[in-house]
Structures are given as structure tokens and as C-alpha cells.
């Protein structure tokens, strides 16, 4: 069982996201540690990309801020290395395929292994194109996190059978971003998934309130929160630590059984 | 290729039944005029027919009725199709056909389960007999509407399209699908207490849609192999969020069906000929030829198409396809506005809702086109992310599409994006090279020495190249936007200066910075201002079948003016890139060589910005 999957054994899991380099590399380390302290179980670290087509405006803007701060892939590996001196929880990257392709698949995954990255989420890499990186991910012990969407229908089982780490279930149509309500029949999709795999299922896209998390945690193994955290960083910049900590604690408490 | 399975709901007798079918829209409904618990009279049928949705065809079911009765129902437009369940013979069918040219006839055949082990299969003989009749369809049932299934393994190979009837319900419908009926006939299984049940119909329609999608996907994967997984060499592919994958698979499947559908082809051809003005002229540029004293120059006048560019070829195809797929809304990105205008035109003409995404920078550069789109009822959404140009407009259109795939088709404007778009757009644009070939052969009885076109994403270029790719003696040249110069940062020359990458759903060449961030690009031409190129071009480049050359802004502006002065043609600044290269190469070629240049668009939209460009340039030089 991978480090990521293990986390789901005992309790409902809270997965937090932020974009590396927003507002600075140092603050990224500080904020991740703050989330960990507040009870986050897994952190997704966004490697910024110029054209994040699956993101709503909040995370798009974070990507733009991070890139204009000049952060790059090498520096993000260094940042994770630094972070690993204290951080104990599984860490996953979230990025688009081109930065990984450009860096070189072999080199990229080798670096992941060296600095202690446990998983990777690539929104523009669907099941059919997984072969691009699957050998490298496997060789260097990095879980490829698969996404399942409300439109996946008969693709659900095919994707779920091959999934590693956890399954990222996209809650709604569209792109990332805070939503007031989630209308998809998630329970039905989760049931489909559970028919073919024991890999845990975490739900993301739009989740931002403790109430929503609580509801989702009743049917899923975990919740993923991105835009809501990035919004805090957008608002408080260099002074976001205590707000992030408070928010993550509240969200984690909401999903405790 | 298998056609989409049709549905017939039989035995309607109440106004409530009609309301139910109007909601779920099967392809056919049946009115039973033969003796049965579902029998209705002519008057009732007329009332029901008047309330029936116009897209649903009405079938009248008869057992040994007289022709006059059936004819009166046809003449009163109560029924569109006649289903014969008795001992009617071939003469009867022929007589019936005389009543109306449009009338279609379904001949029902009873299939008996107990015949399976006999040496002479009575069922087979029965089917064979009717296969050669003038009936349009067969209907296989185990009796006269008993509601029982027969052994479907008895079906075998049937040449005529057939309806499968008898006991089909939401459990066995998937099995029924495997026997490849033209349609399934549903009746007793969708009733509750003897009447049609909305709930049961909803359930079976849902199951059926799932089966169709699933089969579409399976079929797709099979077809992919023959076309190399949507790849051109190593380029292409489907690098797109999962949320859009099913829609892309569906699109490919539907496209593969409709591209061979005679009705679709005819409709599209009519639109191209009667609405867009095809074929476009192949014009001999005599003044230019004389002036350059080299090869003979022909211009393929895509600028004369309705809406003023080649974009209409692709757009009419895609919007018509979207309509066939049941979409009610189209969205598109645009750079210069030509694709946006073309999409808005096709949408308004074919009665679809339309939204266009356009970078704020481009909105400033092409204000006139924004107004044209709005005039054509499209909503133009400014895109203010990233570089605020074409690339960002594509991002935003993809995001919008992922919000609303159920009723929306993304009319991608170039031979780019995830498979099947590069293939679909190429096919729709290939009419350009097809016409060039035919027209030039009439004029010169030979192939051109070279075909030249400008390349942004590359749709007019691939359209101009396509039918010459296998004619190895024809040189194919794509002209990229060299901007200020390819050694500066300000260009959009993806092949000359870019590197292989994966972006906007495809593997291809892209202008990119360190660490694979997509680079901001620049060109005087908003239509070529894109950091990538279509995957088929990347492949043609690598295999050296086509050559890609950069043309600077200055060269393009010179060519723009040159063409206006020589030929009295004001072309788009995009197309001027191709003219610029033609000027360079024509001089070096022999008099019996022929260059065909794709004049992809007209230049009204560019006149103002070129004037400003010249003013800025002059004041700088002074």
C-alpha cells in the first residue's frame, strides 16, 4: 500500500492545495507546515503553469502570481526538499503535462523520488495518454492520481481499476473554484468505483465550507480543498498563516466522525 | 459503420401517451388500427397525431386492412409509415407505394422459436422472401404483438434494416442491441396497469443512451487503431481533462458516422455551394506573374467566400454536425475574428445559440469584427487572462466547454486541439485542395509545382495541402509569422523556433520558455498569433514533406500592398505572409512552373491596423 493510500485507513482525509511560489517559496513551505499542523492529511503542491485549462480564475491568478515571482520547477524541488525536513505527511504535485514533459519525464520523477514527493495529479493527462509517464511514475514510486468526472459514466470502472494512491472525483462540471452547491450524484459514482477497487475516493472542485465537507465525507473517503485556501493567500498574502491554519482546522474537524 | 439505434414506441392511445413521448422523443410511435387492446380508430389517431411532436414519425399498424383505408390515413398525414402485420403480399406493398412517393413500409415477420432445430429453417425462408420485397424495413416479432421475445439467435444476417419487437425491456435491451437491429419496438414492457408509463419509458431511454455511448466508445477505440490513435507520427493525441473525454469520443464517433452519411454530405454540399459560394475562384494573377518574371502564379480565392475567409468551410461542417448531434449551442475561440464571424454566421443561419471567446488585445485590434459577431447575434466574451490573445481564448473556450458539454459543441477553428479536431477540421478544409486540383487541371492540365499558404494553427494550409500530400512532386510550403524577426522574442514561428511540447490537447511544436511555460508570441496578424501549430503540420515538417518558413511583419505588409497594387486585391494580413514568400520564390522559378497561393481571407479588417503600423514605422524611421 502506498504512503498516500495508507493515510485513508483510519479516518476521513483532508487534502489541501496551494500553488508553489504564491506569494513566495518561503511562504509556501510555511503554509504547508501550517496546514499539516492544523490536521491536513495530504498536501497537493501546484507547480504553476502559464495556461492551466482546468482551473477557475482563483487558481489561474495564483499561477500567474507564482510565475511572475519567477518560481520554476527546479526551485520547487528544492522547496520540497526543504519542506521534507519537517513535513511527515504525503505530498503530491499538481501540474500540467508540458512542464513535466519539458523537464524530462525520467529526470522529473527521479527528482520527485529524491525529494519525497508521493503522488502526481495531471489534469490534462487522461486515461488514454497515461502511457506518457506511467513507467517513470512506477519506477520512482510516485502515485499517479486519476481523475473521474461527472461525465465519465462507463469510463469509471476502466479508470478506477488502474488507479493508484487515491481517486480524485471531480464534484461538478467546469473548472476549479468555490461553489455554493454540488448537484452531481456523487454517491452513485462512488458506488461504481467501489465495485472495482479498494483505492480511496476523495472529492474536489468547489468544496469550501465545513458543511459541504461534512456532507461529502459521509459518502467519500476524503475532501480536496484548493481554491478556498488559495483565496485566503490571495487576500492575506504574506500574512496568511494563521488564517490558513484556522480554516484547515475547522475543515478537518468537520469531517471527523 | 452501424447507424444509431432507433426507437419505436408502439400502441399509443391516449393524449397522455402523446405527452409522454413528446418528452422523450423516440424516433417513431405506433398507432394500432388492427384488432387489439391497443386499437384506436381513425378519428382518435388524427387527434393524437396533431398533438405529436413534429420530429417523431407516426407508424400505422395494420393486419390485412384494405388499401383505401390506409391511403386515406396517409393522405390526411395521420401516418408516415405503414406497418403490415397480416398476410399482405408483394403486390399489396407495390400498390401501397403508389399512394405516396414518401411512404415507407415495414413488413412484419413472425419468428417461431420452435423452428430452430429443423433442417429447413422456416424463419430463414420467411426472412429471405421479404428481404427482396419492396418493403423498406422488416419487423421481427414472435407473433402479433404478444409481448414475448423469440430466440434472437435466429436472426442471422439480414440485408434489410429491421425493427426488433416483442418483449424488449430495460433488462434485455443491451442484449437486443448486439443483434444490430435498425430499431427496437417497445410496447408492453413500458406499460403499467395497461397504459404507457412515463417512468418506465424514462428508464429504458436512459439505459439505451448508456448502451449507445458505451458502444460508441468501444467502436471508437477500434477505429482509432486504423487511424493510429489520432496521431500523425508522434504528434496529436488527446491530452485533455477527463471531464471532456467522453464528449470527444462521442464527437469522433458521430463525425465518423455523418461523414459517410449521404444526407449529411448533401446538406453540407448545398450549404457550401448555395450559401458560402463554393467553389471559390482559382485566379490567374497575371500582373504579378509578369512583374516577377518567374513562375505562373494562381491565387485560390478563399477571400471570396461568404464571411471573407476559408473559415466558413470548417464552420458550416461543424455547426451542421453539432446540430445533428442534438446540440443547441456552439462556442468558439477567435483571434483575428474571422473564425468568430464565421461561427456566428453559421450559428445564426442554422439557428443555434452562439458565444465567442476573444482576447482583450484582439478585441482592440479587431473592433470591426467584434461588431460583426454581435450583429450576427453572438455574444462576444472578452478574455483577460494570460496574454489576452488567441491562446488564452482557446483556454477559456475549453473551460466553458467543460462546464456545458451536454448542449454545447466547441467549434474549434483550426487543425489543432485534441483528436478528433485536427482530423475533422482538416477534412472540412480539404475542399480547398480538392478544388485547386480540379480547377488547375482544367486550366493547365497539370499539377502545381508548389502550394503556398500561411500557417497559424494551420487550417487553410492543411486544406490547401491535403490532396497534394501524396503527389510528391508538389512542393508544400507553410508561412509562419516571423513577427519582428525570429531572432527576437517577438514572433509566432512555432516550427522555426519552437520545441516539441504538449498543450491544448495535442503534442506538437510550441513556442515555449524555460521549464515548459508557453511563451507569449507576437505577430502583426492576430490570426497567426498562436504559440503552436497543428499536429499534422508538425509531422509533415519532420518527414520533410512540407517546408515551413518564417515571414516577418515587414515582409507581410510589403506583400499586402504589393498584391493590392498589382492585382487590385486587398488580402488579409495572414494571407499576405503567403504572398510574401511567393514573391521571394517565384523569381527563382521557371516560366512553366506554377505556384498556387491560398488567399485565405480578405483584408478589410486589417486596413486600419496596417495604416497605423506604417505611421508608427515611419515616425520611428524619421
CB contacts < 8 A, A to B, total 124
Residues of chain A with C-beta less than 8 angstroms from the C-beta of B386: 50-51, 64
Inter-chain residue contact B242 with A128, CB threshold 8 Å:
no
- Contact with chain B for residue A183, Cβ under 8 A: no
Domain count, chain A: 1
The answer to whether position A243 is within a domain reads yes
- Contact with chain B for residue A153, Cβ under 8 A: yes
Inter-chain residue contact A155 with B247, CB threshold 8 Å:
no
For the structural domain made of B6-218, what CATH number should be given? 3.20.20.70
Select the residue of B214, B242, B499 nearest A148 (Cβ to Cβ).
Answer: B242
Q: What is the pLDDT of residue B122?
A: 66
To the question of pTM greater than 0.90 for the whole model, the response is no
Lowest mean pLDDT among A170-179, B107-116, B403-412: B107-116
In Å, how far is A156's CA from the nearest CA of chain B?
Answer: 10
Residue A92 has pLDDT above 70, yes or no: yes
Q: What does the block give as the cell for B513?
A: 520558455
Beta bridge partners of B598: B300
Percent of chain B with pLDDT over 70: 95
Residues, chain A = 257
Query: Alpha carbon of B336 to those of A66, B224, B393, B605: distances in Å?
Result: 30, 33, 11, 8
Q: What is the mean pLDDT of residues B137-150?
A: 83
- Asked if the bond preceding B420 is cis, omega within 30° of 0, the reply is yes
In Å, how far is B445's CA from the nearest CA of chain A?
Answer: 46
Select the residue of A54, A99, A103 nearest B241 (Cβ to Cβ).
Answer: A54
**CA–CA–CA angle B463, B467, B468 (5° rounding):** 105
| Mean pLDDT across chain B | 91
Residues 6+ apart with CB under 8 A from B121: B115, B154
Beta bridge partners of B379: B355
The domain spanning residue A59 has which CATH number?
3.20.20.70
The answer to whether position A56 is within a domain reads yes
Residues of chain A with C-beta less than 8 angstroms from the C-beta of B535: none
Domain ranges in chain B with CATH number 3.40.50.1100: 238-271+308-424, 280-306+429-621
In Å, how far is B516's CA from the nearest CA of chain A?
Answer: 5
Q: What is the mean pLDDT of residues B486-493?
A: 95
Query: Alpha carbon of A74 to those of A103, A107, B170, B580: distances in Å?
Result: 9, 11, 56, 43
Please check whether residue B108 is in contact with residue B141, taking contact to mean a CB–CB distance below 8 angstroms: yes
The answer to whether position A162 is within a domain reads no
Select the residue of A73, A74, A151 nearest B405 (Cβ to Cβ).
Answer: A151
Residues of chain B with C-beta less than 8 angstroms from the C-beta of A56: 399
Q: How far apart are CA B179 and CA B189, in angstroms?
A: 19
Q: How far apart are CA B78 and CA A28, in angstroms?
A: 72
The answer to whether position A13 is within a domain reads yes
The answer to whether position A140 is within a domain reads yes
Residue B183 has pLDDT above 80, yes or no: yes
CB atoms within 10 A of CB B269: 12
Inter-chain residue contact A149 with B242, CB threshold 8 Å:
yes
Alpha-helical (H) ranges within B11-164 are: 15-24, 42-51, 67-75, 90-99, 122-131
Residue B220 has pLDDT above 90, yes or no: no
Inter-chain residue contact B243 with A57, CB threshold 8 Å:
no
Domain ranges in chain B with CATH number 3.20.20.70: 6-218
By CA distance, what is B505's nearest residue in A? Answer: A124
Inter-chain residue contact A147 with B403, CB threshold 8 Å:
no
Beta bridge partners of B309: B601
Q: How far apart are CA B56 and CA A56, in angstroms?
A: 41
Ordered strands of the B499-503 beta sheet: B231-232, B235-239, B505-510, B499-503
The per-residue DSSP string of B137-184 comes to EEEEESSSS-S----GGG----SS-EEEESS--TTTHHHHHHT--SEE
Residue B124 has pLDDT above 80, yes or no: no
By CA distance, what is A50's nearest residue in B? Answer: B517
Residues of the domain holding A63: 3-145+222-255
In Å, how far is B609's CA from the nearest CA of chain A?
Answer: 28
Inter-chain residue contact B241 with A72, CB threshold 8 Å:
no
Q: How far apart are CA B177 and CA A203, in angstroms?
A: 35
Query: Alpha carbon of B305 to those of A40, B308, B311, B601: distances in Å?
Result: 60, 5, 9, 8
Q: What is the mean pLDDT of residues B42-61?
A: 93
- Helix A105-115 and helix A73-83: axis angle, to 10°? 20
Q: Up-side HSE of residue B495: CA atoms within 13 Å toward CB?
A: 28
3-state secondary structure of B21: helix
The answer to whether position A29 is within a domain reads yes
| Residue of A59, A135, A53 whose CA lies nearest to A98 | A53
In Å, how far is A41's CA from the nearest CA of chain B?
Answer: 25
Q: Which helix (H) or strand (E) holds A13?
A: strand A13-19
Q: How far apart are CA A21 and CA A80, in angstroms?
A: 12
B313: exposed, middle or buried (Cβ count in 10 Å: 0-12, 13-18, 19+): buried
| Residue of A79, A98, A9 whose CA lies nearest to B395 | A98
CATH level 3 topology of B280-306+429-621 = Rossmann fold (3.40.50)
Residues 6+ apart with CB under 8 A from B435: B278, B279, B280, B282, B300
Q: What is the pLDDT of residue B534?
A: 97
**Active site (catalytic) residues of B:** 311, 333, 600
CB atoms within 10 A of CB B382: 16
Inter-chain residue contact A51 with B503, CB threshold 8 Å:
yes
Q: What is the pLDDT of residue B228?
A: 66
Q: What is the pLDDT of residue A79?
A: 97
Q: How far apart are the first and last CA of chain B?
A: 67
Residue B214 has pLDDT above 70, yes or no: no
pLDDT tens digits for B548-585?
999 999 999 999 999 999 999 999 999 999 999 999 99
- Contact with chain B for residue A191, Cβ under 8 A: no
pLDDT tens digits for B299-327?
999 999 999 999 999 999 999 999 999 99
Q: How far apart are CA B183 and CA B397, in angstroms?
A: 37
In Å, how far is B171's CA from the nearest CA of chain A?
Answer: 17
B310: exposed, middle or buried (Cβ count in 10 Å: 0-12, 13-18, 19+): buried
Residues 6+ apart with CB under 8 A from B449: B295, B473, B474, B475, B589, B593, B594, B595
Select the residue of A54, A101, A152 nearest B516 (Cβ to Cβ).
Answer: A101
Query: Alpha carbon of A108 to those of A86, B173, B531: distances in Å?
Result: 23, 49, 24
3-state secondary structure of A203: strand
Select the residue of B246, B398, B517 nearest A152 (Cβ to Cβ).
Answer: B246
Select the residue of B392, B501, B505 nearest A101 (Cβ to Cβ).
Answer: B501
CATH architecture observed for domain B238-271+308-424:
3-Layer(aba) Sandwich (3.40)
- Contact with chain B for residue A87, Cβ under 8 A: no
| Residue of B558, B608, B551 whose CA lies nearest to B577 | B551
Q: What is the mean pLDDT of residues A143-152?
A: 97
Beta bridge partners of B163: B139, B183
Residues of chain A with C-beta less than 8 angstroms from the C-beta of B403: 173-175
Residues of chain B with C-beta less than 8 angstroms from the C-beta of A192: none
Give percent helix, percent strand, percent coil of chain A, each to the nearest 5. 50, 15, 35
Q: What is the pLDDT of residue B223?
A: 35
* Chain Cα centroid distance, residue B320: 6
Residue B156 backbone zone (phi > 0: left; psi -120 to 50: alpha; other: beta): left
Residue B144 has pLDDT above 80, yes or no: no
Select the residue of B229, B403, B515 nearest A102 (Cβ to Cβ).
Answer: B515
Please check whether residue B142 is in contact with residue B111, taking contact to mean a CB–CB distance below 8 angstroms: yes
Inter-chain residue contact B395 with A124, CB threshold 8 Å:
no
Residues of chain A with C-beta less than 8 angstroms from the C-beta of B213: 153-154
Inter-chain residue contact A67 with B517, CB threshold 8 Å:
yes
Residue B219 has pLDDT above 80, yes or no: no
Among A73, A74, A126, A182, most B C-beta atoms within 10 A, so best to mutate, is: A126
Among B242, B402, B531, most A C-beta atoms within 10 A, so best to mutate, is: B242
Q: Which helix (H) or strand (E) holds B560?
A: helix B553-567
Instruction: For chain B, list residues whose CB is within 8 angstroms of any CB belonging to chain A.
Output: 210, 213-214, 217, 229, 237-247, 385-386, 391-392, 395, 398-399, 402-405, 499, 501-505, 510, 512, 514-518
Amino acid at each position: 500500500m502506498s504512503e498516500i493510500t495508507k493515510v485513508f485507513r483510519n479516518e476521513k482525509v483532508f487534502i489541501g492545495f496551494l500553488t508553489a511560489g504564491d506569494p513566495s517559496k518561503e511562504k509556501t513551505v510555511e503554509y504547508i507546515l501550517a496546514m499539516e499542523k492544523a490536521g491536513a492529511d495530504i498536501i497537493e503542491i501546484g507547480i504553476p503553469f502559464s495556461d492551466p485549462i482546468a482551473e477557475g480564475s482563483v487558481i489561474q491568478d495564483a499561477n500567474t502570481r507564482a510565475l511572475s515571482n519567477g518560481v520554476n520547477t527546479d526551485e520547487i524541488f528544492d522547496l520540497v526538499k526543504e519542506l521534507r525536513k519537517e513535513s511527515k505527511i504525503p505530498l503530491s504535485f499538481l501540474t500540467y503535462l508540458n512542464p513535466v514533459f519539458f523537464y524530462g519525464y525520467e529526470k522529473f520523477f527521479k527528482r520527485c523520488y529524491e525529494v519525497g514527493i508521493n503522488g502526481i495529479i495531471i489534469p490534462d493527462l487522461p486515461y488514454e495518454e497515461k502511457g506518457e509517464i506511467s513507467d517513470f511514475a512506477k519506477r520512482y514510486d510516485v502515485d499517479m492520481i486519476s481523475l473521474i468526472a461527472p461525465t465519465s459514466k462507463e469510463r469509471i470502472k476502466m479508470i478506477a481499476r488502474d488507479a493508484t494512491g487515491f481517486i480524485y472525483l471531480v464534484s461538478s462540471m467546469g473548472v476549479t473554484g468555490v461553489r455554493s452547491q454540488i448537484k452531481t450524484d456523487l454517491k452513485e459514482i462512488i458506488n461504481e468505483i467501489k465495485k472495482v477497487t479498494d483505492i480511496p475516493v476523495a472529492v474536489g472542485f468547489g468544496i469550501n465550507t465545513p458543511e459541504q465537507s461534512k456532507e461529502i465525507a459521509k459518502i467519500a473517503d476524503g475532501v480536496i480543498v484548493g481554491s478556498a485556501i488559495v483565496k485566503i493567500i490571495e487576500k492575506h498574502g504574506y500574512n496568511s498563516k494563521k488564517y490558513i491554519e484556522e480554516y484547515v482546522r475547522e475543515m478537518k474537524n468537520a469531517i471527523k466522525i | 459503420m452501424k447507424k444509431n439505434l432507433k426507437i419505436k414506441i408502439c400502441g399509443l392511445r391516449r393524449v397522455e401517451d402523446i405527452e409522454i413521448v413528446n418528452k422523450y422523443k423516440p424516433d417513431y410511435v405506433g398507432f394500432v388500427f388492427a384488432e387489439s387492446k391497443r386499437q384506436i380508430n381513425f378519428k382518435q389517431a388524427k387527434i393524437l397525431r396533431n398533438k405529436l411532436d413534429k420530429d417523431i414519425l407516426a407508424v400505422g399498424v395494420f393486419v390485412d386492412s384494405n388499401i383505401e383505408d390506409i391511403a386515406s390515413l396517409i393522405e390526411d398525414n395521420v401516418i408516415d409509415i405503414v406497418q403490415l402485420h397480416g398476410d399482405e403480399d408483394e403486390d399489396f406493398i407495390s400498390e401501397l407505394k403508389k399512394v405516396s412517393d414518401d411512404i415507407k413500409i415495414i413488413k412484419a415477420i413472425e419468428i417461431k422459436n420452435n423452428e430452430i432445430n429443423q433442417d429447413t429453417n422456416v424463419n430463414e425462408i420467411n426472412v429471405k422472401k421479404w428481404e427482396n420485397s419492396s418493403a423498406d424495413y422488416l419487423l421481427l416479432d414472435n407473433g402479433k404483438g404478444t409481448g414475448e421475445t423469440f430466440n434472437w439467435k435466429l436472426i442471422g444476417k439480414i440485408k434489410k434494416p429491421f425493427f426488433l419487437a416483442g418483449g424488449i425491456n430495460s433488462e434485455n435491451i443491451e442484449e437486443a442491441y448486439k443483434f444490430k437491429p435498425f430499431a427496437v419496438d417497445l410496447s408492453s414492457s413500458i406499460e403499467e396497469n395497461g397504459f404507457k408509463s412515463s417512468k418506465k419509458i424514462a428508464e429504458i431511454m436512459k439505459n439505451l443512451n448508456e448502451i449507445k455511448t458505451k458502444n460508441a466508445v468501444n467502436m471508437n477505440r477500434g477505429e482509432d487503431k486504423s487511424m493510429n490513435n489520432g496521431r500523425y507520427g508522434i504528434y496529436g493525441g488527446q491530452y485533455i481533462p477527463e471531464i471532456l473525454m467522453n464528449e470527444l469520443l462521442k464527437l469522433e464517433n458521430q463525425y465518423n458516422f455523418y461523414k459517410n452519411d449521404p444526407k449529411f454530405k448533401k446538406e453540407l454540399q448545398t450549404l457550401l455551394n448555395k450559401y458560402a459560394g463554393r467553389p471559390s475562384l482559382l485566379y490567374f494573377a497575371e500582373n504579378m506573374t509578369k512583374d516577377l518574371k518567374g513562375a505562373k502564379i494562381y491565387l485560390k480565392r478563399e477571400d471570396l467566400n461568404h464571411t471573407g475567409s476559408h473559415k466558413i468551410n470548417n464552420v458550416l461542417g461543424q455547426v451542421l454536425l453539432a446540430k445533428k448531434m442534438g446540440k443547441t449551442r456552439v462556442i468558439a475561440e477567435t483571434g483575428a475574428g474571422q473564425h468568430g464571424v464565421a461561427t456566428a454566421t453559421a450559428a445564426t443561419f442554422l439557428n443555434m445559440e452562439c458565444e465567442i471567446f476573444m482576447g482583450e488585445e484582439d478585441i482592440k485590434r479587431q473592433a470591426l469584427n467584434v461588431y460583426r459577431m454581435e450583429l450576427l447575434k453572438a455574444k462576444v466574451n472578452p478574455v483577460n487572462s494570460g496574454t489576452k490573445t488567441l491562446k488564452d481564448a482557446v483556454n477559456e473556450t475549453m473551460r466553458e466547454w467543460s462546464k456545458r458539454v451536454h448542449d454545447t459543441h466547441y467549434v474549434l477553428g483550426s487543425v489543432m486541439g485534441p483528436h478528433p479536431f485536427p482530423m475533422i477540421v482538416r477534412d472540412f478544409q480539404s475542399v480547398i485542395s480538392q478544388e485547386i486540383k480540379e480547377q488547375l487541371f482544367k486550366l493547365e492540365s497539370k499539377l502545381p509545382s508548389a502550394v503556398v499558404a500561411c500557417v497559424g494553427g494551420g487550417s487553410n494550409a492543411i486544406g490547401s495541402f491535403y490532396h497534394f500530400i501524396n503527389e510528391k512532386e508538389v512542393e508544400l510550403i507553410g508561412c509562419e509569422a516571423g513577427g519582428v524577426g525570429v531572432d527576437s522574442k517577438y514572433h509566432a514561428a512555432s516550427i522555426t523556433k519552437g520545441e516539441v511540447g504538449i498543450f491544448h490537447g495535442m503534442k506538437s511544436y510550441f513556442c515555449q520558455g524555460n521549464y515548459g511555460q508557453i511563451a507569449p508570441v507576437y505577430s502583426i496578424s492576430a490570426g497567426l498569433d498562436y504559440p503552436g501549430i497543428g499536429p499534422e503540420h508538425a509531422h509533415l515538417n519532420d518527414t520533410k514533406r512540407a517546408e515551413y518558413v518564417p515571414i516577418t511583419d515587414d515582409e507581410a505588409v510589403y506583400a499586402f500592398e504589393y498584391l493590392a497594387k498589382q492585382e487590385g486585391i486587398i488580402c488579409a494580413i495572414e494571407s499576405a505572409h503567403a504572398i510574401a514568400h511567393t514573391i521571394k520564390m517565384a523569381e527563382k522559378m521557371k516560366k512553366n512552373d506554377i505556384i498556387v497561393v491560398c488567399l485565405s481571407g480578405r483584408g478589410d479588417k486589417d486596413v486600419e491596423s496596417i495604416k497605423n503600423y506604417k505611421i508608427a514605422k515611419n515616425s520611428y524611421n524619421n
